[in-house]
Each structure stands twice: as C-alpha cells, then as structure tokens.
C-alpha cells in the first residue's frame, strides 16, 4: 500500500478538505500587498490571510504557489497547528521574512475559515474581548517642526490621542518625513544622512511639540534602527522631559543583544521588534528584558498563531504589544492585529493606517479608524473579503525600497540601516 505523506495523518472530523491554495497580489495604494486564499470543497467556504512582504513579494508569491500549496491540498483545514508546523518544517531551513510571510498567509487564512465554520469572529476563537476597541497611533511628519505640529493638530481634531512625530533630516536617507535638500555639499557623499545632526534635531522637535500640543496627547518617535547603543541612550535621555509614550526601534537587529542595557539606562519606554523575522526573535526580545513594547509585524513572524504566543508571553512578562501596522500590512493583516488587540490583556497601542478608498473597494469590510479607535468586524472570520476583479486594476510592481535603501548613506558614503 502506498502512503500519501501529504494526506491527513488522522481521520478528519468532517468531510472538509482544502482544494486550492494561491497567492493574490494587488497594490491599490501603490504598495504591493500579498494575500493568500485557501478554498475548500464546501461551496463558498474559503479563507484569506496576509502574506505581505512588499520588498520581496514575488518570492512570497512563488513560495506559496510552488512550494506550500502542494502540502495543504486535500488536508482538513481545521488542523491549523499541524498545517502551519508542516509548512515551517518541510523546507528544513526555517525562518526569514519570505518563509514566514508565506506561512502567515496560510495561517491567517485557516483562522478565517475556522471563524466562518464556527459562525464567529476570530477574536472570539481567541477567547473573546477584553476591551471594546484598540486605541491607535498615527504618523505626523513635516519638513519643519511647525509642519509636523500642524499635521498633529489636525489628527487631534479627528480624535487621535497618540501621535508619532517625525521631522525631515537633510539628504536622501531621512525616514518618515518629506525629503529635504542636503546640507553636506562638500562631503564625499553629499546626499548623506548624519546621525549626529539627527540627534540634535529630534529633541528640538519635541520641545516645540510639547509647547504647542495638549498635555494629554501621547507622543511617539521612530528611530528606524539607526543608532548605536550609546547614541540610543543619549537620545532617550534628551527626550526624557517630554514624556514620550515610547521610542521605537532604537537599535538595528544586529545589536539587539545590547537592548537590556539600553533599556536599563533609558528613561523612555522602548518599543522594538518591527524587524523580527521569527517567533524566536520576538520571544527573545520579550524574555531577555530588552523591550517595554513588542511591535512585531505579525506576518513576518509567521502569522496569528505565533503572535498570540508572543502576546501571552508579553502579558506574563509585563510587556505591552504594539503590533506593526503601516500601509504594507494588508487589511487582512490589520484585522489580525486588531483581533489580538481586543483579546489580549497585554495590549498597549496599535499602529494605525488610513487606507484609501481603492483599498476599501478591493477589500470589502476593511476596518476604518474612528476617533482614533479600531473596532473589529463582528462578522465570522475576519469579516473582510477580496474583490479579485478590482484587485487586478492595481497590479503590484517591484518595490522602490531597493532604490531608496541604496541611497541611505552617511556623508562619508557608508551605507546606513534603512
């Protein structure tokens, strides 16, 4: 007798099996999004999951379509843990953003199917709500402190209570704010980014902001992984008097082993983890005492299943969650974030993104932020669909991130972390 190693390893509880697994790509905001669709032999029963790694989306698409789909077809979709472990172990080498985003698409799609089969939203499968909605933060940025503050005031009028402030720094390597001309015309790389100038400009931004904004507005800032451990401490201490809610990604992943000492010396809470590319990475940040907020991009660590483990560990460790959620998270990924936010006692804050109307057309049911809060859909699963005809109107293109990253250099020409 021939044994089919990809068949169900035990009898399925119901006669439901996976019939198709495929990646769908679209870019309604110009940023490539990847969503995995898993179909079953039950008419109308399918699931959607976020697999967005916008910088390498073609690799994720091929991974899903050419490698992982064959493992799942014919399997019972209720065995989420086994199917996700199979997808992770089958390639022998594990981890990394391509692998984990592909697995995340499968994981989240299976949770969507589970919710639809049960007639429940995913957050109820996780134990139900511990809060009504997730408070969010939004990004204000400008070429000057005045421009950033003006944008922040507009967000406050719209109901936000937490605002990330960014300001332009000279040259092509600035992050999170409009580009401004270089101030280093005689340097070997005249369009360079200076860490020392950055350290001088950011405290001035927050001094102006605290004078102009209401005291009850929480302020945040993203370093984007560009400082040394000592520079991170200097920045945190220079910002102490402005009472930041958190300081984000002060060190690159190569130096995360230094985070506990930086955190011990920092008077400002640290939020780190956007660049975690495995469950193990995220666990180490929480377990080793390097963070006050863990902010993994949940598809980069493999999806909802590993992220809920991180949330449980964070709760037991006195750490808060602040899941990554910008425009390179699909609306499905944003829904997964919010399902965790409302069902986890470890919730701290959720990064918010205002999707354009084209995205709402492609993804009916996409969540909208109202008065700064995200409320999950009450419909079964994620409560979000995809209109594949509309999706095709916005074909994904190769990301421009590579070109930008190639120009993120110090004035002496050395590459800087993008």
pLDDT at residue 3, as a whole number: 58
Write out pLDDT tens, residues 224-265: 999 999 999 999 999 999 999 999 999 999 999 999 999 999
Residues comprising the chain, all counted: 418
pLDDT cut 70: percent of the chain above it = 99
Categorize the per-residue pLDDT at 1 as very low, low, confident or very high, splitting at 50, 70 and 90.
very low
39 is a domain residue: no
The mean per-residue pLDDT over the stretch 65-85 comes to: 97
pLDDT at residue 185, as a whole number: 87
Catalytic positions are 175, 224
pLDDT higher than threshold 70 for residue 2: no
> Is 75 exposed, middle or buried, given 0-12, 13-18 or 19+ CB atoms closer than 10 A?
buried
**CB of 219 within 8 A of CB of 166?**
no
pLDDT at residue 417, as a whole number: 85
Look-up of token digits 């007798």 = 1
The mean per-residue pLDDT over the stretch 275-300 comes to: 97
pLDDT cut 90: percent of the chain above it = 90
Write out pLDDT tens, residues 369-390: 999 999 999 999 999 999 999 9
Write out pLDDT tens, residues 155-186: 999 999 999 999 998 887 788 888 888 888 89
Look-up of token digits 């102006």 = 208
**CB of 310 within 8 A of CB of 328?**
no
Write out pLDDT tens, residues 395-406: 999 999 999 999
64 is a domain residue: no
How far apart (Å, rounded) are the C-alpha atoms in residues 102 and 79? Answer: 17
The mean per-residue pLDDT over the stretch 331-336 comes to: 98
CATH classification of the domain holding 265: 3.20.20.120
Write out pLDDT tens, residues 128-138: 999 999 999 99
247 is a domain residue: yes
361 is a domain residue: yes
pTM of the model: 0.96
175 is a domain residue: yes
pLDDT higher than threshold 50 for residue 154: yes
Please tell me the total count of domains within the chain: 1
pLDDT higher than threshold 60 for residue 72: yes
157 is a domain residue: yes
Instruction: Look up residue 156 and give its two tokens.
Output: 């406050």
307 is a domain residue: yes
* Residue predicted with more confidence, 95 or 297: 297
Average pLDDT, the chain: 96
164 is a domain residue: yes
Q: Which domain holds residue 186?
A: 125-382
């Amino acid at each position: 007798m021939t044994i089919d190693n990809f068949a169900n390893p035990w009898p399925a509880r119901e006669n439901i099996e996976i019939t198709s697994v495929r990646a769908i790509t679209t870019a309604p905001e110009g940023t490539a999004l990847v969503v995995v669709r898993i179909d079953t032999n039950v008419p109308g029963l399918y699931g959607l999951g976020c697999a967005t790694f916008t910088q390498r989306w073609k690799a994720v698409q091929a991974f899903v379509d050419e490698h992982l789909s064959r493992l799942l077809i014919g399997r019972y979709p209720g065995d989420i843990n086994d199917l996700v472990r199979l997808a992770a172990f089958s390639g022998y080498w594990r981890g990394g953003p391509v692998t984990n985003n592909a697995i995340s698409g499968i994981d989240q799609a299976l949770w969507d199917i589970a919710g639809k089969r049960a007639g429940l939203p995913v957050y109820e499968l996780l134990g139900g709500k511990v809060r009504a909605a997730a408070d969010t933060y939004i990004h204000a940025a400008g070429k000057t402190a005045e421009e950033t503050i003006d944008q922040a005031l507009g967000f406050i009028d719209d109901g936000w209570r937490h605002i990330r402030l960014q300001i332009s720094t000279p040259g092509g390597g600035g992050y999170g704010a409009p580009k401004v001309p270089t101030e280093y015309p005689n340097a070997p790389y005249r369009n360079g980014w200076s860490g020392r100038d950055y350290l001088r400009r950011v405290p001035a931004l927050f001094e102006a902001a605290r004078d102009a904004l209401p005291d009850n507005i929480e302020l945040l800032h993203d370093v984007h992984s560009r400082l040394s451990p000592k520079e991170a401490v200097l920045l945190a201490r220079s910002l102490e008097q402005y009472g930041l809610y958190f300081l984000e990604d002060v060190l690159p992943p190569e130096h995360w082993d230094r985070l506990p000492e930086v955190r011990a010396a920092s008077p400002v809470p640290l939020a780190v983890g956007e660049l975690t590319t495995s469950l193990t990475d995220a666990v180490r940040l929480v377990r080793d005492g390097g963070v006050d907020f863990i902010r993994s991009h949940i598809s980069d660590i493999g999806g909802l299943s590993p992220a809920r483990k991180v949330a449980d560990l964070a709760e037991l460790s006195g750490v808060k969650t602040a899941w990554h959620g910008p425009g390179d998270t699909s609306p499905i990924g944003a829904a997964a974030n919010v399902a965790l936010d409302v069902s986890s006692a470890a919730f701290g804050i959720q990064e918010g993104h205002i999707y354009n109307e084209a995205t709402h057309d492609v993804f009916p049911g996409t969540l909208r932020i109202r008065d700064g809060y995200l409320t999950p859909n009450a419909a079964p699963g994620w409560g979000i669909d995809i209109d594949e005809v509309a999706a095709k109107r916005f074909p994904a293109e190769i990301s421009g991130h590579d070109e930008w990253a190639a120009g993120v250099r110090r004035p002496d020409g050395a590459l800087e972390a993008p």
